[in-house]
């Protein structure tokens, strides 16, 4: 499969998760965490932009990062379902971030040695960001799991809610030599998650049917509602410069 498609998948994951995190801005549980969530959103947005620009080059159709972000419909987005899941409460947002970073940190680590200079370049920056997201989100998973009865119940509910969605991280429609093999990251992901769950006193539930479809553009219903406001100015004013 084409590197274009593989890079687009990655870019979509980053943009959609960044967008979700940005929805928290101004509404966080405390100011300090409001700033932390925005920092993570900006990290992801930075990677998304580099990846979209690279995808546009690979595609060779003279499209820009904004064309790719703003002018594709739900069916043309290839992010995994996990990143488009609604924010839910703080436990759900932090768990989603933790799952994603527990995947991306080893992914970028492996991509440091990519034969593709752009990919290894992105990896060099993103691996540090993901290491921080993994640590910070992991700290919260521990605190909410090992906090009060209320927080523990909410954290366990978040784990159950997201349980059908993490396995899709290890799939791709577009295996490509320039990028690490997603399936191989599963062992590391499970080790990270289990170690934090042990500290948090949380149980990883029994397997359920893993939902998939993001990689072929078949999403949940929420993605369209996210893209509609995001894309509305670009759609309403074709060709305008902002």
SS (H, E, C) the chain: CCHHHHHHHHHHHHHHHHHHHHCCCCCCCCHHHHHHHHHHHHHHHHHHHHHHHHHHHHHCCCCCHHHHHHCCCHHHCCCCHHHHCCCCCHHHHHHHHHHHHHHHHHHHHHHCCCCCHHHHHHHHHHHHHHHHHHHHHHHHHHHHHCCCHHHHHHHHHHHHHHCCCHHHHHCCCCCCCCCCCHHHHHHHHHHHHHHHHHHHCCCCCCCCCCCCCHHHCCCCCHHHHHHHHHHHHHHHCCCCCC
Rule CB under 8 A: say whether 188 interacts with other proteins.
no
Minimum CB distance to other proteins, residue 97 (Å): 13
Cβ burial of 203 (10 Å; 0-12, 13-18, 19+) is exposed
Task: Give the nearer residue to other proteins in terms of CB position, either 64 or 187.
Answer: 64
Task: Give the nearer residue to other proteins in terms of CB position, either 117 or 236.
Answer: 236
Rounded CA-CA distance 71/51 in Å is: 16
Minimum CB distance to other proteins, residue 23 (Å): 6
Rule CB under 8 A: say whether 19 interacts with other proteins.
yes
Residue 76 neighbours by CB under 8 Å, 6+ apart: 217
Binding span for other proteins by CB under 8 A among 77-85, 115-123, 142-150, 177-185: 142-150
Rule CB under 8 A: say whether 170 interacts with other proteins.
no
* One of 4, 52, 54, 189 touching other proteins (CB under 8 A): 52
Minimum CB distance to other proteins, residue 9 (Å): 17
Rule CB under 8 A: say whether 60 interacts with other proteins.
no
Task: Give the nearer residue to other proteins in terms of CB position, either 66 or 181.
Answer: 66
Could you tell me if 91 and 154 are in contact, meaning their C-beta atoms sit under 8 angstroms apart? yes
Binding span for other proteins by CB under 8 A among 139-147, 162-170, 175-183, 185-193: 139-147
Rule CB under 8 A: say whether 45 interacts with other proteins.
yes
Task: Give the nearer residue to other proteins in terms of CB position, either 32 or 221.
Answer: 32
Q: Cα 171 from chain centroid?
A: 14
Q: Print the binding letters for residues 99-138 with other proteins: x by CB under 8 A, - otherwise.
A: ---------------------------------x--xx--
Query: Interface with other proteins by CB under 8 A: which residues?
Result: 15, 19, 22-23, 25-36, 38-39, 41-42, 45-46, 48-49, 52, 65-66, 69-70, 89-90, 132, 135-136, 139, 142-144, 146-148, 150-151, 154, 226, 229-230, 232-234, 237, 240-242
């Amino acid at each position: 499969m084409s590197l274009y498609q593989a890079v687009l998948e990655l870019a979509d994951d980053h943009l959609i998760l960044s967008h979700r995190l940005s929805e928290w801005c101004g509404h966080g549980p405390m100011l300090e965490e409001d700033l932390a969530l925005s920092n993570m959103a900006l990290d992801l947005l930075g990677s998304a932009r580099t990846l979209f620009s690279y995808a546009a080059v690979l595609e060779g159709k003279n499209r820009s990062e904004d064309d790719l972000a703003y002018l594709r419909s739900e069916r043309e987005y290839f992010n995994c379902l996990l990143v488009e899941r609604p924010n839910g409460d703080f436990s759900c947002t932090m768990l989603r971030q933790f799952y994603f970073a527990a995947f991306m940190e080893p992914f970028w680590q492996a991509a440091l040695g990519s034969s593709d200079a752009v990919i290894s370049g992105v990896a060099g920056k993103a691996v540090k960001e993901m290491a921080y997201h993994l640590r910070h989100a992991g700290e919260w998973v521990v605190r909410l799991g090992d906090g009060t009865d209320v927080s523990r119940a909410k954290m366990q509910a978040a784990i159950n809610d997201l349980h059908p969605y993490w396995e899709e991280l290890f799939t791709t429609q577009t295996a490509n030599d320039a990028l690490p093999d997603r399936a191989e990251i599963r062992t590391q992901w499970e080790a990270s998650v289990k170690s934090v769950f042990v500290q948090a006193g949380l149980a990883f539930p029994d397997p359920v049917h893993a939902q998939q479809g993001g990689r072929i553009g078949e999403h949940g219903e929420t993605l369209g509602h996210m893209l509609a406001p995001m894309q509305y100015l670009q759609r309403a004013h074709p060709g305008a410069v902002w």
